[in-house]
A and B are shown apart, each in its own frame.
Chain A
Amino acid sequence: MTPIRPLRPQRPVGIVGYGAYIPRYRLPAEEIRRIWSQGKGGLPVQEKAVPGLDEDTFTIALEAARNALARAGIAPEDLRAVWVGSESHPYAVKPTGTLVAEALGATPHVQAGDWEFACKAGTEAMVAALGLVGSGMADYALAIGADTAQGRPGDALEYTAAAGGAAFVLGPAQDALAVIEATYSYVTDTPDFWRREHQRYPSHGQRFTGEPAYFHHITHAARALLEALDLEPGDFAYAVFHQPNAKFPQRVAKMLGFKPEQIAPGLLVPRIGNTYSGSALVGLTAVLDIAQPGERIFVTSFGSGAGSDAMVLTVTEAIEARRDRAPRTEDYIARRTVIDYGLYVRYRGKLNK
């Protein structure tokens, strides 16, 4: 076997600005259970974030990106790439990246495009941005993970399929509020979850989504990166894992040797649901909202299909001056209006007139 080599840029790179967005509406899981299983059975989350009638992946990505740019304190024209990872782009053909770049004022001298890898499209865009900045070809690149996830009415995924997003401006490490020490990706062809062309809702492999998919990829990516950097779970103040429900990230953290208090600040799924491409990344924004200079953060995403991106970050002193330039993730979580299943059906366009 070839030795494991983590991805490290030629010049050091970090997060210069970050931002999140979560829609206002919340659907309690109890409400779904009332409709589909007579109020009986366990619940994977407390409630999930539901987008309003006028929201989609572009509008979510844009607000997260505006927050990231505000924290970065750079001009939009300084961005050399605007990349949006999602599985719910508003257009099948016409990149969300073009809309975000235009609305930010980053056009026309810019790369723009969309990434797709189920729930890890956002971290995939980050790794690409790391390469672009790390090679010296660009000083700043914007990577976004955002989704308005759809769950088939009555399916297990309906409890968790939520909406939200996170955006990161990557730039030279000397400008960063958190330096990206290295990343490592682990990918196989594993059909645990998919959506065919023209299908409205995804399909999944039931229990197959657990061991061979989520747990296998996250543990392999995470262990390989920790080993390559000679680090242990105890070296980190925080850890964030992809969070399709409340149980999986807690279990994978335990398998890897992380403690509950290390994952608690970034474990948002019980309160907002699974924001898909935003999932681990929105968790990372909540951690950056409270992290102190010098603290290490471990992040591992998971995307069905399947793969994981693991990432090690170290927070710098720049975080203190930039944190309050945009709303914190908790501000969006606290702004909540509970809706019932009927209004949810209307907001998500599940009624055909």
Chain B
Amino acid sequence: MEVPRHWRLKKQRYALVGEVCPSCGAKLFPPRDVCPVCKAEAKTLYTFSGRGEVLAFTTVTQPPAEFADQAPYVVALVRLEEGPTLTAQLTDLGDETPYIGMPVEMVTRRLRTDQGERGVIVYGYKFRPRLQPAPA
């Protein structure tokens, strides 16, 4: 049971809430309270736009037990528009094949459950191909 940890991480997981450095302006994700660029204290919250692009990806066919229900799935390194790179699942690929440079956007989805049917549902960020306007 990891309920306190899920609870502590909810802001960053649900909505990509990171930090911005008040001294050099660097955007930080995950939030770490000290700017890795200029070493200043950086505790100002910053919500990322969620837009980014795929830097690298792989398909997971031998997943950890708690992700087995969703396998095979694609995990990617996504570079956010504001700079930071993070690891996340790609979702809603449908019949699309991921590629390096694919424009993606953040959605909040079910990641897994903690302790099966009786445990809490863990939600967090994933990325999908950017939604396109319908053809006129």
Contact = CB atoms under 8 A, between A and B. Distances in A.
B14 A24 contact: no
B126 interface: yes
B70 interface: yes
Contact of B133 (A52, A53, A55, A331): A331
B123 A58 contact: yes
Given A24-B94, A331-B134, A53 B70 contact: yes
Task: Describe B's contact surface by its main secondary structure.
Answer: mixed
B27 to A, nearest CB: 17
Interface string B39-70: 00000000100000000000000000000011
Nearest to A59: B109
A56 B110 CA distance: 8
B15 interface: yes
Interface in A198-253: none
B108 interface: yes
B111 interface: yes
A317 interface: no
A338 B134 CA distance: 17
Contacts of A1: none
Contacts of A197: none
B110 A59 contact: yes
Nearest to A346: B69
Interface residues on A, range: 20 to 34
B126 A54 contact: yes
Contacts of B133: 327-328, 331
A74 interface: no
A294 interface: no
Interface string B7-25: 0001100110100000000
Interface string A315-353: 000000000000110111111010000000000000000
Nearest to B109: A54
A149 to B, nearest CB: 17
B92 A24 contact: yes
B92 to A, nearest CB: 5
B134 A337 contact: no
Contacts of B70: 53-54
A90 B91 contact: no
A92 to B, nearest CB: 11
Contact of B132 (A102, A331, A337): A331
Contact of B92 (A52, A99, A102): A52
Contacts of A59: 107-110, 123
B123 A334 contact: no
A121 B121 CA distance: 23
B1 interface: no
Contacts of B135: 334
Interface string B96-136: 00000000000111110000000001010010000111110
A333 B134 contact: yes
A344 to B, nearest CB: 14
B95 interface: yes
A33 B17 CA distance: 46
A56 B123 CA distance: 10
Contacts of B132: 331, 335
Interface of B: 10-11, 14-15, 17, 47, 69-70, 89, 91-92, 94-95, 107-111, 121, 123, 126, 131-135
- Top-9 shortest CB links A-B: A337-B94, A334-B134, A103-B14, A54-B109, A330-B134, A54-B110, A331-B134, A24-B92, A53-B70
Given A53-B69, A56-B110, A59-B109, 8 more contacts: A23-B92, A24-B92, A54-B89, A59-B123, A99-B14, A327-B133, A330-B134, A334-B134
7 contacts: A23-B92, A52-B91, A52-B92, A54-B70, A102-B11, A105-B15, A335-B94
